[in-house]
Amino acid sequence: MVSRRTLLIGGAAAAALPFARPREASGGHTPYFARMNATLRGNGIDRPVLVIDLDRLDRNIDRVVKSARAGTPRNYRIVVKSVPSPALVDYIARRAGTDAGMVFHRPFIEEMARLRPQSDLLLGKPMPVAAVATFYERPRAPFDPARQLQWLVDSETRLAQYLALAQGRNLRLRVNLEIDVGLHRGGFADAAAIAGALKTVADHPQHLVFSGFMGYDAHLMGLPGFLADGEIPRVKARYGAFIDVLHRRFPTLAQGPLTFNGAGSPTFRHHESGSPLNDISVGSALLKPAHYDLPILADFEPAAFMAAPVLKRHASTGLPTLEWLGAPMAAWDRNRADTLFTYGGNWMAEPASPGGVRRAGIYASSNQEGYYAARGVALAVDDFLFLRPVQSEAVLLQFGDLVAIRGERIEQRWPVLAAGT
């Protein structure tokens, strides 16, 4: 005999069942994406592309510049890996009024030196000495690395390698010393540890030139908020201690313009006051991929989207070999009623428009990615599904020329940097 308690539990579960059913998400593109869809289709775009919204980009650039000028002004340095197109870097540089860039890849150094010979370049990570040697195998005029390029050095061992290369080839290398400001990503661990490297530079002025410090702190975003907030003053204090050692023990090296670089998209606003930095690096915030949906960047606007043509759309037929599940699955979750396939896929990105479209895990593919949608989602074959990148960096290199849009007009098509040698 069924107990009263069992009946009550069963009844409650049955009553709750309708509320557990996923709500249907229908409708079409938002007006913003409907306009973008019409622009791409009207221009005959027939493949996946990476779209840059120039109006949003302009406003994001202005926000970075305003922050860099707050308090004691700091030089703004464009992080090239996050916006890896020379023409896009040009666009940002003109609006921001800067020629400073941060580069992370030897072929990118070569391309930026060739295509933007006015650039002031700082390495964002230390290069193998073989990469340094390769760079100097070909002349770069009018770009002058002795004035315009700072190699990043993270240890006395690497500094010795660079010195030996400079002596063997009669070069004079500008070296910026990477310091650990508390995130333990490498570099000189504390102010005392850097004295040996500074002495080596001071002892070899014919081959080494001290250009400053680089202390990256953007990975503070990976800490819980209360820990990050408490760490920011300590980061500034650690950086200041390195500068203090420089001035006290090596006053000759402290002369002349030096680059005290740091920050990053998640942290540059923390350096508007009380900071030892005179140079900040920002890249991703300009396009604001999803990884940068942070409170400190709440006023920044997403400015980069992937647009993938829809190749196929049909009623969902269940899982392969389990087709009989198609009808009950769609009846329970009407957001799985249709399956559509895009041109390309498997990107580091999430669907942005129309709302309600989501990946069909069984159809993960870099050739034709599968997605589920409700019947009421207005997205036809040849329309574009828009996705928001999780990051910019390597993602922007996957689509060929970037498509720069202003309003309803494609204004520019910008080639990206070549990743190979």
Mean pLDDT of the chain: 90
* Superfamily the domain 75-277 falls into: Alanine racemase (3.20.20.10)
120 CB contacts (<8 Å, ≥6 apart)?
Answer: 99, 100, 101, 148
Answer whether residue 375 shows pLDDT above 80: yes
**What pLDDT is stored for residue 349 in this prediction?**
96
Task: Give first-to-last CA distance, the chain, whole Å.
Answer: 78
- Which of the two residues, 20 and 88, has the higher pLDDT score? 88
* pLDDT digits 0-9 by tens, 216-235: 888 777 666 666 677 888 99
* pLDDT digits 0-9 by tens, 206-217: 999 999 999 988
Question: Is the peptide bond preceding residue 354 cis, with omega within 30 degrees of 0?
Answer: yes
Decide if 368 contacts 340 (C-beta within 8 A): no
* pLDDT digits 0-9 by tens, 55-93: 999 999 999 999 999 998 999 999 999 999 999 999 999
Q: CA–CA separation, 180 vs 219, rounded Å?
A: 12
The single-letter DSSP state of residue 365 is -
**Span 182-194, mean pLDDT?**
85
How is residue 4 written in tokens? 């009263």
The reply to whether 25-50+302-414 and 75-277 are identical in fold is: no
Decide if 173 contacts 147 (C-beta within 8 A): no
Q: CA–CA separation, 382 vs 37, rounded Å?
A: 10
The single-letter DSSP state of residue 63 is H
**Residue labelled with tokens 């791409």:** 40
Q: How confident is the model at residue 372 (pLDDT cuts 50, 70, 90)?
A: very high
Q: CA–CA separation, 125 vs 103, rounded Å?
A: 8
* pLDDT digits 0-9 by tens, 89-126: 999 999 999 999 999 999 999 999 999 999 999 999 99
* pLDDT digits 0-9 by tens, 277-308: 999 999 999 999 999 999 999 999 999 999 99
CATH architecture, range 25-50+302-414: Beta Barrel (2.40)
**Domains of the chain by residue range:** 25-50+302-414, 75-277
**Span 253-267, mean pLDDT?**
94
**Span 363-389, mean pLDDT?**
95
- Please tell me the pTM assigned to this model: 0.91
**What pLDDT is stored for residue 1 in this prediction?**
47
* pLDDT digits 0-9 by tens, 41-58: 999 999 999 999 999 999
Q: CA–CA separation, 118 vs 140, rounded Å?
A: 11
Answer whether residue 309 shows pLDDT above 50: yes
Q: What residue ranges in 69-207 does DSSP mark as E strands? A: 75-79, 100-103, 120-123, 149-153, 173-178
Q: How confident is the model at residue 8 (pLDDT cuts 50, 70, 90)?
A: very low
